[in-house]
Amino acid sequence: MGTLPAELQALLDQIDACERDAESLLAGLDDDGVNWQPPPGRWSIAQCLHHLATMNDVYTQGCDEHLQAARAKNVGPFKGLHPTLVGRWFARSMEPPPRMKLKAPSPTTPGPSYPRDGLLAAYTMSHARYRAIVKASADVDIDRVVFPNRFIGAVKMRLSTVLMIIPAHDRRHLYQARQVRQALRNEK
């Protein structure tokens, strides 16, 4: 495969930036530091990263099969990222700083604490399938790859929307984790 279309390469670049951000958030922290929580109701850095790893796996689950089915039907070529109006709004709503508070779906709500070791690896591993899907999208019109939303089955999503949501959602919770890191600094 040759060079990726610019829009797809930009998605991969965004994920790379998110991973660098996550690495810097964890730098110099031990188990206590990554699990420190500000006032009740707010997540720790570890909880933010665990939630992202879980959500990334949930959002990408089945996408590769839908992409392969579209390729088999000759649904191509790639024509850019053109989510629906609702899809575009949803992707933008994920961007930091959060303008509205959303409750995490229960299967993705993090537990009370996690060991620092393995957090970054789990987070970066959650991007492996995403990267593969982005790269495999280069020859498919991903706006025509439509499937039910993982959490609201009656709502259909375009693959282009899913690919835009993941880096935005990552940035949202990395922003949240940065706020926690700053509060931890102020606490000391």
Query: Distances from the Cα of 14 to the Cαs of 11, 49, 131, 159, in angstroms?
Result: 5, 16, 11, 17
Taking the CA atoms of residue 63, residue 67, residue 68 and residue 69 in that order, the dihedral angle to the nearest 10 degrees is: 100
Polymer length in residues for the chain: 188
Q: What is the pLDDT of residue 146?
A: 93
Is-contact 57 132, C-beta < 8 A?
Answer: no
Task: Assign 141 a pLDDT band (cuts: 50, 70, 90).
Answer: very high
| pTM of the model as a whole | 0.93
Per-residue confidence (pLDDT) for residue 41, from 0 to 100: 79
Percent of the chain exceeding pLDDT 70 equals 98
Q: Residue 55: what pLDDT?
A: 95
Which residues have a Cβ under 8 Å from the Cβ of 52 and sit 6 or more positions away? 123, 126, 169, 170, 173, 174
Residue predicted with more confidence, 137 or 155? 137
Tens-place pLDDT, residues 159-185: 999 999 999 999 999 999 999 999 998
What's the confidence (pLDDT) of residue 188? Answer: 67
% of the chain surpassing 90 pLDDT: 81
**Strands in 60-151 per DSSP E:** 146-148
Residue 125: strand, helix, or coil: helix
Residue pLDDT, tens place only, 92-139? 999 999 888 878 877 788 999 999 999 999 999 999 999 999 999 999
Give me the residue spans of the domains in the chain.
Answer: 6-187
CATH of 6-187, one of 1.10.10.10, 1.20.120.80, 1.20.120.450, 2.40.180.10: 1.20.120.450
Confidence check: pLDDT of 37 > 80: yes
**Averaged pLDDT, 64-81:** 94
pLDDT at 44 over 60: yes
Looking at residue 2, what is its pLDDT? 67
Residues paired with residue 66 on neighbouring β-strands, in sequence order: none
More confident residue, 173 or 38: 173
* Mean pLDDT of the 45-61 span: 96
Give the SS3 label for residue 43.
coil
Q: What is the mean pLDDT of residues 133-157?
A: 90
